[in-house]
Amino acid sequence: MKNNWLERVGLICLLLTLLTLAITLTINARWLYQFDIGQLDLLDYTTLSEKELLHNFDQLMRYLNVPWVESLQMTDFPVSTSGAKHFYEVKRLFLLNYGLLLVTVIPSVLYLRHLIKQKRLWTLIQPFRIAVVAPIVVAFMMAVNFDRFFILFHGVLFNNDAWIFDPMTDPIINVLPETFFLHCFILFFVLLELFYFLPMYFGKRALKKEP
């Protein structure tokens, strides 16, 4: 009974570790923003050079990622009170994600070691067969109407309208277009599906080795 409970906790931790790892890699994908600067012609919406724009992007990401950076200051973009409030709320979500990743990664590793030791990696196949379905469903909803999905996403995570930026007071929004966030979501879903596929792959591989 106790072992079953511990294994359920281990499985939940593994699911959360892979989820938060996918989020972490996505929100820190600086290369994706750099790619979109050219792909989405973002320099047309600012007087900055690519190097200057990336410098401001790095300042924003440092604020969002580093707990002890308490105020958001970008060299070339002012931030309104409403904008600062939204970025603060985003920062809290970033830190929550990192916290969950740190809390679950060790139990996940111990859980995997336990399964490997007992030659029971195959038990991951069915749970992750179910787990891979959820991202596909959400990604389908996103593909059907991303505008609606984007609004619902913010409605779930935030209880205010501070995320609706005014370009006059928060010109940073001009170089953070909705399409960039679409690309972020695509990257996230691809990573998550890959991460959820791996336990199935290794589980099936282990099953084939069983006598």
pLDDT at 207: 76
Residue 158 to residue 50: CA distance in whole angstroms = 31
Pick from 111, 106, 93, 103: nearest CA to 24: 93
Q: Which residues contact 20 (CB under 8 A, 6 or more apart)?
A: 97, 98, 100, 101, 104
Alpha-helix runs per DSSP H in the chain: 2-27, 30-39, 50-65, 81-117, 125-131, 133-144, 146-157, 178-209
Whether the CB-CB separation of 78 and 45 falls below 8 Å is answered with no
| pTM given for the model | 0.94
Q: In the chain, what is the straight-line distance between the N-terminal and C-terminal CA atoms, in Å?
A: 28
To which residue do tokens 């790095």 refer? Answer: 58
pLDDT at 7: 83
Residue 84 to residue 67: CA distance in whole angstroms = 15
pLDDT at 205: 83
DSSP string, 123-177: GGHHHHHHHTHHHHHHHHHHHH-HHHHHHHHHHHH-SSSTTS--TTT-GGGGGS-
pLDDT at 3: 62
To which residue do tokens 């030659």 refer? Answer: 119
The separation between CA 115 and the C-alpha centre of its own chain, rounded to angstroms, equals 27
Neighbour-count burial of 157, counting CB atoms closer than 10 A to its CB (0-12 exposed, 13-18 middle, 19+ buried): exposed
Altogether, the residues listed in the chain come to a count of 211
- Residues of the chain below pLDDT 70: 1-3, 210-211
Q: Render pLDDT for 119-156 as a digit per residue (tens, 0 to 9).
A: 889 999 999 999 999 999 999 889 889 999 999 999 99
pLDDT at 78: 95
